[in-house]
Structures are given as structure tokens and as C-alpha cells.
Structure 1
């Protein structure tokens, strides 16, 4: 695996910390900004919306620009967005800073994924994506709990300053370690790449990714209040449990990255099924601290075990448009990260309780599982058709009568 892929993974650590750290900061932000917890939760959705819009938009806008220069510009804007969030005087400015940061994050993800895929053979795509997703896993192990710890002891703004510093370090890595990636001899045309959205498998991949991610983050986004208000744990436990989710994510990413290239649909179906079972268990056993902590770890494993396969599947079905494939995967994950917290907030506002967010998440993952089964059947049908067509095209496979009739 090229060193540059690992540098991209380290850069994703800063991006992922910012994306997920609000799960442990909702209470102090809500108190400081004088808003409700569900409204503070919309800051998570704001970031996700920025990712959904920014990924395809920036992928298209930078299609003909040098890859390394684009990565440098995007990580710089992202870091400035963290500074703006740390200095935000009110909720509106903080909301806007999250959107701007998300736009830059989305662009970096889309371009970075395309760069990583371009540097490895087809049979190592899931492993390359696992390295980048590993940056998210490490963010959940170290960055998110550290953000929660800083928020508890130094105020939530200190977490934003810490991510700004991490972004600056990532910028140095990109400048010094990412090689120049030449553009294709034939300049890419956005209109031609947009053709991928006519493919049913691309649309199914988007739907599976959005539902699978949204189901887990419907519950994860409100994990901190669930731990304190339902499981009865002290607030000091929150950062440790978030770190445990990250450990699970790291384990899941490693296993999924190793297996997905050879058993892509097996990983998809087993991982989404496991997430559904764990979410249902969390909803039923949320009042038990031991069960909640255990299931949080297992959710980290199942969610990130599935992620390399979801990424690799998109590049497989949209290989004719690698930049848009990366952007589309990023957008799909964040469609889920938008819809999941929104659905969870709606459940809480309906006075169904924090544990009910896990039931809502399980409903989303059940829908993801059904969609993945449809994609698998279509894949098998298409593969069979191609084999039959290839056999029929070989002269030696034609019967004499068939040849004579021609």
C-alpha cells in the first residue's frame, strides 16, 4: 500500500473527529447556545448536509484541477472552518461554520478516495478504502473521546481548536507526502461521468449506503444523553464509551477491509444484519449500563466492518467515473448521517425517549438489508446474462443449425 494512502488516512482523522465529535458535545453546546438538545443535534445534520451537497459539487468543479493542489486547498478551508466554529458567537454562526467545514471535508473525501483508488490495483480497492476509513476509526477511538473530554473540562470550543491544530498537521502531510497525480490524457467531461446515475446498481448502492449509515447514526448521535439519562451513567463515562465505539470501528474496518475484496456481498449482508440486531438490543436493554456499553462496541464493529464493502461496491459499479464514484459514496454516507440524526431528533421530540432512537435506526437498517438483497439479485442476473452472451458469441458454441440459419 503506497505511503500516500496512509497520509490520506491520517488526514481523514482530522475530518472524522470534527464530523463525529459533536455526539459528545451536544449538552454543553445546547447549554451555551441556549438551544434544545435536538436542535443542537441539527449541527450534526448540518455537517452531513454539507457533505451531501459538497461531495458531487466539488468533485465536478475540481474534475480538471491538479489532485494535490485540490487536496491542499480543501484541507486549508476545513481548518479555517474549525477556527470559525471555535469563535462562533451564536448558534447561527456555528451552524454556518459546520456547513462550510463539511463542504471542504466532502471535497477532500471525494478527491482523496479517487487518488487512493488510482494508486492501487483493482483487487486492493477495499483495502485502500479501509486505510482511509481507518482514519475515521482512529477519530472515533481518540479524536471523539478527546473532544468530549476537552468539552467537559475546557469547554466545547477547545475541541474545535484541537481539530484546527490537527488539520494544520494534516496539511503539512499532504504538502510533503502526497505525490503529483497526473490528470488523464483525455480530459474528463462531467457530462459523460454523470451517465453513471442512470445505472440501477449505482442508485441501489447509494440507497444501501445511506440507510445502513443512517440507521447506526440515528442512535449514535444521541448516545451521550442515552448513557446519562437512560443507562444512568455519570457524564464522565461518555468519552470512554465513545472511545469504545471507536475501538469497535477500528476492529470492524480491519476485518472488513481484509474480507470485502473477496466476499463483497457477504460482508454487506452480514454487517447490516449485525447492525440491525445490535440496534434492537440497544433499544431493549438501554437501561442496563453493561449491555449499553457492550452494544456500543459491537455497533462500532458492525458499522465499520461494512464500510469498506460499501465504498468498494460503488467504485465497482461506477468505475467509468472514479471521481464522481468517490463523491457519490461520500454523499450517500452523509445522506444517512443527515437522515439518521433528524429521525432520532424527531423521535425524541415526540417524547418516545432516547432509547427509541435505536428502534428507529433498526428500521433503517432493515430497509438497507432489503435493498442490498435486491442489488445482489440484480448483480447475479446481470452476471448470468453476460456469461450467456459471451458463450453465444463464440463460434464453437453454436450448433450447426444455428450457424446455418445465419
Structure 2
């Protein structure tokens, strides 16, 4: 792995731990702050909305700035935000700290993916993005299970303090390893970045990202009570299942990068179809503990197969000004995170059992398939149109 991409991967590990570890600590947070588990689940939604609204604000504010100082500043924001989370005395201040932390998320992954793609030949760009995102997937193998175990042993605040330490390492790594002149902003500045948002394919890629993420978070937000109540697993065992989910994500991320460099949209469509089928299998067989564990592993693998393809899809569709579009795509993923967590919580509130919750994810995955098929059809139509004579 090139050292600059390694630095970005360390930061993405910190960010991934920040985003996902709260799901393994929902019962502890809810009990400590005196709120219900669905209310604690809104901390996932709040973070996701912080990404959504923060992404365009940060991207536009930094459109003309050198990429390296921006990445260092965004990593530092996560250090401060996690410190605020650790010391928040009540639910609403914890929510505010989560939203503040999330403001840098979309911009970091958006700008970071453009930087990573600029460091390798064109036919390796998706794989380079996948390497950067490897930190995010590894956070689910190491950061989330370790953070969950730490939180259960010493209190959930200890988990956020540990993330502060990791964040400081990521700031130092970016400052040391990322070249100062990498992926400098285009001459078009903010207006050039805004112009590419007029492209339909950019928006379709973002919609696919949102629906894919929603299908995941409608169920994964409540994975701990699902595995304990439906599959009959102990709380301690859930920590190891989350580790397995992260292993699946890491494998899927590597596979997704390579497949995207080969066949981008067919990879997206086939993977989303497989996800829908897996959700149905989860509904039918989730009460069998061994089957549920296997499904969680496959689920993690499939959801991250589509991440590198969708990110490089946006970068290429917005080639004239990729920073804002790539950042907004991270916002799109988190629109799905927020929407999925809300939809899952609403379904539970309306009486849908944990056992049937995966059917909600299946419906959202099928919607994502429909949009992906439309996007590919538009690609083919464009390719068939005669080019203007020079």
C-alpha cells in the first residue's frame, strides 16, 4: 500500500470506529442516559445527518484550498468531536457532539478518494479508493468489536476516549506521509465543482448509494437486539459477530475495488440483488444462530463490494470537478444511513418484529437495483448515440 494511502486508511479507521461503534453500545448508552433503545438509535441518524449537511458546506468552503491541509484539519476535527462525545453529560449534548464530529466525515472521504485515485494509474483507481476505505472496513474488525468490549467493561465513554488517541495518530500520519501538492483543486474552483452536479449520472450514483446504505442501516442499527432476541446469542457473542461482519466488509472492499476496475455497473447490480436475497434468508433463517452468524458475514461482504464502484462512478462522472461530487456521494451514503436507521426504528415502533425487520432491508435493496439498471441503460443509450463531427 502506498504510504500516503496508508495515512488516509488510518484516518478512515478512526472515522469508521466513530461511526459504527455506537451500534454495539446502544443498550449501554440508552441505560446510562435514561432513554429508550430506539431513541439511542437516533444517535446513528444524527451522525448521518451531520455528514449529509456538513459534506457540501465543508466541500464548498475548502474548494480552493490545498488538499493536504484540508485533510489534516478534518482529521483533527474528529479528535475534538470524539473528545466532546466522551464528556457529554446528557443525551442531547451527546447528539450535538456526534453531529459536530460528522461534519468532517463526508468531506474527508470525498477529498480522500480523489487524492487516492490521483496517486495511481487510471486502471487502478477503484482499487486505490478501496485501499483507503480498507481503514473503514478494518474498523469493523478491530475498532468496533474492541470498542464495544471496552465500553461494556469500562463504560461507553472510555470507547470514545480511545478513539481520540487513534485520531491523534491519524493526524500525524497525514501530516507526515501525504504529499503537499497532491490532487490540487482544479482551476474552475467552486463554480467548476458545481457545474458537474448538472450530470444525471452523478445523481443516479448518489441515489444508488443512499438506497444501498438504507437497506443496511434499517437492520444493522438494531443488530444487537436482533441477534440476542431472535438468534439467541449472548451479549458477549455479539461482539464477535460484529468482528465477523467487519471481516466480511474488508473482504468485500478488496473484491469491490478489483471488480470495479473490471466491470463497474454489473458489479453493483449483481451485488445489490444478492443483498436482497440475503435479507430474505435472514428473515427465514435468522433464528438459527449458526446461520445468522454466517449471514452477517456475507452481509458485510456484499455491502462493501458496492462502495468502491459507486465512489469511483461519481469521481469519473464528475471528472471536471470531482471533489464536491465525491464528497456529496459520502453524504448520499449517509442519507441512506439516517433514512435506514429511521425506517428501521419506525418499523419497530409500528409493530414489526426484529425477526421481520430484514424484509425492510430487502425492499430498499431492490429499489437500489432498479436505479442501477436505469443508470446502466442510460450509459448504453449514450454510447449508441452518434458523436458530433469534429
TM > 0.5 between the two?
Answer: yes
State the secondary structure of the residue aligned to 1:316. helix
Q: CA deviation at 1:183?
A: 6.7
Task: For residues 94-145 of structure 1, give each alpha carbon's deviation from its aligned partner in whole angstroms, at most 9, with x where no partner exists.
Answer: 0000001100222222221222122223222111110112111100111111
In structure 1, the residue matched to 2:126 is 126
In structure 2, the residue matched to 1:389 is 387
Distance 2:203 2:136 in 1: 25
In structure 1, the residue matched to 2:189 is 189
Gaps of 5+ in 2: none
Kindly report structure 1 stretches of 4+ aligned residues shifted beyond 3 Å. Answer: 182-188
Q: Pairwise mapping of residues 89-238 of structure 1 onto structure 2 (< 5 A)?
A: 89-181=89-181, 184=184, 187-238=187-238
Gaps of 5+ in 1: 395-406
Which is further off, 49-58 or 83-92?
49-58
State the secondary structure of the residue aligned to 1:64. coil
Which of these two proteins has the greater Rg computed from alpha carbons?
1
Q: CA deviation at 1:182?
A: 5.5
Q: CA deviation at 1:186?
A: 5.8
In structure 2, the residue matched to 1:23 is 23
* Contact 1:216–1:279 (Cα < 8 Å) also in 2: no
State the secondary structure of the residue aligned to 2:354. coil
Distance 1:93 1:125 in 2: 40
* Contact 1:55–1:109 (Cα < 8 Å) also in 2: no
Q: Pairwise mapping of residues 292-331 of structure 1 onto structure 2 (< 5 A)?
A: 292-331=292-331
* Contact 2:130–2:253 (Cα < 8 Å) also in 1: yes
In structure 2, the residue matched to 1:380 is 380
In structure 2, the residue matched to 1:33 is 33
Give the number of aligned pairs: 390
Distance 1:21 1:107 in 2: 21
In structure 1, the residue matched to 2:364 is 364
Which is further off, 232-241 or 351-360?
351-360
Residue 257 of structure 2 is aligned to residue 244 of structure 1: no
* Contact 1:63–1:188 (Cα < 8 Å) also in 2: no
Q: Pairwise mapping of residues 8-19 of structure 1 onto structure 2 (< 5 A)?
A: 8-19=8-19
* Contact 1:210–1:333 (Cα < 8 Å) also in 2: yes
Task: For residues 245-289 of structure 1, give each alpha carbon's deviation from its aligned partner in whole angstroms, at most 9, with x where no partner exists.
Answer: 000011111111112111001210111111111111112222111
State the secondary structure of the residue aligned to 1:89. coil
* TM-score, scaled to structure 2: 0.97
Residue 266 of structure 2 is aligned to residue 266 of structure 1: yes
